[in-house]
Amino acid sequence: MASTSNSLKALDNFINNEHIQPTAGKYFDTFEPSRGRPHAQIPDSTKADVELAYQAASKAFPGWSKTSRAERAKILYRIADLIESRLDEFAQAESKDQGKPVELARTVDIPRAAHNFRFFAGRILHSVEEAGDLAGIGFNYTQRMPIGVVGLISPWNLPLYLLTWKIAPCIACGNTAVCKPSEFTSLTAYLLCSVLKEAGLPAGVVNMVFGTGMGAGQAIVEHPRIPVISFTGGTVTGAKIIANSAQHFKKLSLELGGKNANIVFADCDFEQALTTSLRSSFANQGEICLCGSRIFVERPIYEKFLERLVQGAKNLKVGDPTKKETNLGALVSKEHWEKVLSYVELGKQEGGKIECGGQKPTDLPDDFKDGYFLEPTIISGLTPSCRVMREEIFGPVVTIYAFDTEDEVIALTNDSEYGLSCSVWTENGRRARRVAQSIEAGYVWVNTWMARDLRMPFGGMKKSGLGREGGDHSLDFYSELKTICLAD
């Protein structure tokens, strides 16, 4: 893309602990979703910029990989402290860049980013490898080895949260990184660069290359000497990454799309299920891969649950993301907003009833009239075969459907190409266990949602991804386990 207005703040790439302009000198506008106008310029980085970042990371790898775990952990703890000391600055930047409410960024996104560094700092200090005696022959032990330069590609929905989920274990294990944040949400990644430098992270350990997926992202994936790729994003892009990296036999971790079920049985704690279902449907404008976008409700309580869910959705405040009382901000871009609206129209064409929402709020303040806002939307009356019931929308749009039996809802839930997460609401412990075991998803919550334990494996089944991260699973991914046999 060509360079645009010089009146906007231009971000630069962060390579070898220095901010440098993209080699081609080109930038493009990034928009503030809540106001629908450009607020900064992003480097339109190319293969040449990725190569510069790779060279810096490659040069830094020998020293960083030999740095003691204690020293690495010390720097990661310092990074966490610095992020927390700039909580408000990061939260406001995240909101301005992504569209989410500032309060959500302040209470969830930014604290979690700091926690990612703190968690993996502690993890490497307390992890141990395996050892065993091979009687009469020798002694075996394993050694966790850093791999090298890792490519980290993060999404736009939880920008700092998910970028640090990758950076923290990557560098904790002794690797160096070439990172590519989403072109829609680069601001907090840019702020993070100054934190990394202030924390004393050696030059070249983490390099930030900004740009598009087709430009910088593809160059990282195809780079012949970047052996590991961690990607969070869409399933279509994930398939391209698999294809483009196959010739190099790269190690991949892919967290991809989801069309998650939220199963509500008649014997649930009704108020708890209702309150949490509102949150799991519309948190972050529905732009969370774990949102429960297919709500299945057992028929005896269906009408009551639908009525209360609609009432709750209508009470949610959509608008100015800087206001503490705001529940939903703006969708990330005009293109995505238009895509989500097209699914609302498709829902009507497929015979669905728009129970609430489905349009832009009419009471927005003048400064936000051009923002990409959408009311929380509930659609009933669709059959399970409808596209709106099957395709990932990734916005504040959910479907609701009545079911009669346990076997029926399990079949409905599993009849999907996705398998990321699921929530189950029931006070029957045996049923909870049966259903949870039967669901084809990487994460099943019972009587809760988004309760994350970073020690546990996280990842999807089917087209929702490849691999698992979290706890030792992250350490396994970002390292190579070597077995060494010492003869007697």
Which residues are marked as active site? 255
3 state DSSP class of 307? helix
Q: Where are the alpha helices (DSSP H) in 381-428?
A: 387-390, 406-414
CA distance 311 to 314: 5
Residue with tokens 């609609």: 310
Residue with tokens 């346990």: 406
Q: Which of 130, 189, 127 is nearest to 160 (CA)?
A: 189
Q: Which of 448, 475, 413, 487 is nearest to 169 (CA)?
A: 475
CA distance 315 to 323: 16
The neighbour count for residue 126, using CB atoms within 10 Å, is 8
Q: Which two tokens stand for residue 223?
A: 């780079």
Q: Which of 119, 54, 231, 81 is nearest to 475 (CA)?
A: 119
What backbone phi and psi angles, to 5 degrees, belong to 445?
Answer: -100, 135
Q: Which of 29, 251, 67 is nearest to 176 (CA)?
A: 67
Q: Which two tokens stand for residue 480?
A: 């190579």
Residue with tokens 């949150």: 279
3 state DSSP class of 438? helix
Instruction: Give, in order, the Cα–Cα distances in Å from 295 to each of 53, 194, 258, 262, 370.
Output: 44, 43, 14, 5, 31
Are 226 and 250 in contact by the 8 Å Cβ rule? The answer is yes
Q: What is the DSSP letter of 469?
A: B
The phi-psi region of residue 136 (left if phi > 0; otherwise alpha if psi is between -120 and 50; otherwise beta) is: left
Q: Which two tokens stand for residue 305?
A: 């649950």
